Chains A and B, each alone.
Chain A
Amino acid sequence: MRHGRRLALDQVTFQARPGQVSAVVGGDGAGRSTLLRCLGGALAPSSGTVRRPEQRDIGYLPASSGTYPDLTVAENLAFRAAAYRLPAAVAAERSGAFLARAGLTAARDRLAGRLSGGMRQKLGVVAAMLTSPALLVLDEPTTGVDPVSRADLWSLIARAAADGAAVVVATSYLDEAERAAHVLVLDAGTQLAVGTPDQIVAAMPGGLRISDTVPPDADRPRAWRRAGRWRIWDPGGTADGERAQPDLQDAVTVGILGRELAAAGVGER
């Protein structure tokens, strides 16, 4: 996928399965939004294939809000239901159930533009899943959202998957990605890792050491701070010291670090 001359996504392969939550993680500029826009139908790839359900069977929440600020919460959902010709009784039943799950029942008559960021994101997800889409694509619904609203959002996401949807969620929180059945890690538009969280951790190259003191200069570029201690990545995995059992956050950090070190090594920039 290209934006002008810049390659935003380079040969990424990704599958979303029914009844399963897939997470797409990566930092700013990693290509998450570009991938989700391809899946959501807002962008066509420059090369390669995207196979997905027809548009009316996709619920897509873009990173920029997917709600109408001048309509109330209830009106936003009624409008969506009407656009998809959802029978009134079904729309009312599903709206009520999802709003209750999202903790938004008391906010039914508030304008969407007056909601807090977390409430607006919850409304966006409720609207996207209202029509029981086969594919639900959510672009960073939880970024900047407080932990309580994040839990509500994940309750909605679990409900959509339990009801059979293939759910794709972009997130910058690795503890959320750890809860997904399938994870794609993007960095600078390329695929850094893919698989279950356990597979990604198992595929991490080299080993990790833990140190309580600032690592020596030779180790410093491969070291980072976590939970008040230092983690040191040994690409060969052979150095002596206290070993750390890596988790998804470590594996993703190592992936990004490896890229950075390789780029610095060839004198890029």
Chain B
Amino acid sequence: MASRTGMAGAGDRVMGGVLAECVAVSRRFGGFTAVDGVDLTIGPGEVVGLLGANGAGKTTLIRMLLGLLPASAGQVRLFGGPPSRQARRRLGYMPQGLGLYDDLTPAENLAFTAAVFGAGRPAAAGAEAPPPEVAPPAAVRYGRELVGDLPLGVQRRVAFAAALQHHPDLLILDEPTSGVDPLARARLWETIAAAAEAGAGVLVTTHYLDEAEECGRLVIMADGRVVAEGSAAEITGGRRVCVVEADSWAAALDALEAAGLPAALAGRTLRVPGASLAEVRRALGSLPARVSEAAATLEERFFELTLPAGR
């Protein structure tokens, strides 16, 4: 398990165990600040989950790490130096749109990305067979079909293999599991964990908050800033929510909303974050209902951290 270490001498191949680092990084577009003073480190063997709503600044931050966008202020360092073409060869990137060529077969896609990234390393189509996690059964089974004609789940596995096949030191995965069934998601996370156990650092974004537990460390962004950092348990802390079990959940929802307490439906119960038991009981009035407290989920804590007050 990698620990967070301080900055070592700049110019080291890997500074004190840090693969990628942002120090007080900001990015402005005209008058709009997309990323605002962000500090972030990713060390070898670490899986860091980057969470946030759309517009929180995640993609802008990733584009700066990839060297596609210069920072307006602060320092972005990749493998101890500025994000250069050379540094990018040690990096595997899976974009949200998968980044595959629709009119090539899976094997052709893998060979092409291998040629782009892995100068001097064996390509997927070369004499040396790629390791098993790199040649998904899908790439073999659908050998002659074009990627554009394949099911989305298969395309996703091919894109994942393309990002991994040159054994990158740092993996950046932008929503790798969107729309995938739970077993396929578990298999993707096994591969991510195996890459981390072999020493790679991983930065991954996801909209599935239940996947956050797969990450050793979470970084939550809102409005361009980091608003929380730590393990899922550390971030959730001891927060509580009120749980309402009413004879009629619909009537209870009406009453809570009329009192300005937003509630989320869970089966036939309602969960009310950010309100005390007394407030909830007062809002429900004489409605027959049991009100209790439960531990907040990461999702509920996430809303508390990222939503502006009053929403």
Q: B-contacting residues of A (Cβ < 8 Å)?
A: 19, 21, 26-30, 103, 116-118, 140, 143-151, 154-155, 157-159, 161-163, 172-175, 178-181, 187, 196-197, 224-228, 249, 252-253, 256-257, 260, 269
Contact = CB atoms under 8 A, between A and B. Distances in A.
Contacts of B186: 224-226, 253
B311 A103 contact: yes
Closest 4 CB pairs of A and B: A27-B181, A162-B250, A224-B186, A227-B213
Contact of A30 (B181, B216, B249): B181
B229 interface: no
B54 interface: yes
B214 A227 contact: yes
Contacts of B180: 27-28, 172
Contact of A179 (B190, B208, B214, B265): B265
Interface size class of B (residues with CB under 8 A): 35 or more
A116 B303 contact: no
B181 A172 contact: yes
B265 A161 contact: yes
Given A162-B254, A175-B210, A149 B53 contact: yes
Which of B54, B141, B151, B180 has its CB near the most chain A CB atoms (within 10 A)? B54
Nearest to B190: A225
Given A27-B179, A157-B265, 17 more contacts: A28-B179, A147-B209, A147-B303, A149-B53, A150-B207, A158-B265, A162-B253, A162-B254, A172-B181, A173-B208, A175-B209, A178-B267, A179-B264, A197-B267, A228-B213, A228-B216, A256-B181
A224 B191 CA distance: 11
Nearest to B58: A146
B49 to A, nearest CB: 12
Interface string B127-167: 00000000000000100000000011100000000000000
A224 B265 contact: no
Interface string B39-52: 00000000000011
Given A27-B184, A228-B214, A253-B183, A149 B209 contact: no
B178 interface: yes
Contacts of A159: 253
Nearest to B249: A162
A174 B182 contact: yes
Nearest to A227: B213
A257 B185 CA distance: 12
B249 A28 contact: no
Interface in B19-57: 51-55
Given A225-B186, A225-B189, A269-B141, A143 B210 contact: no
A253 B250 contact: no
22 contacts: A26-B181, A27-B183, A28-B153, A28-B180, A29-B153, A143-B178, A148-B306, A149-B53, A151-B264, A151-B299, A161-B250, A172-B180, A175-B299, A179-B265, A181-B267, A224-B186, A225-B190, A227-B214, A228-B213, A249-B182, A252-B181, A253-B182
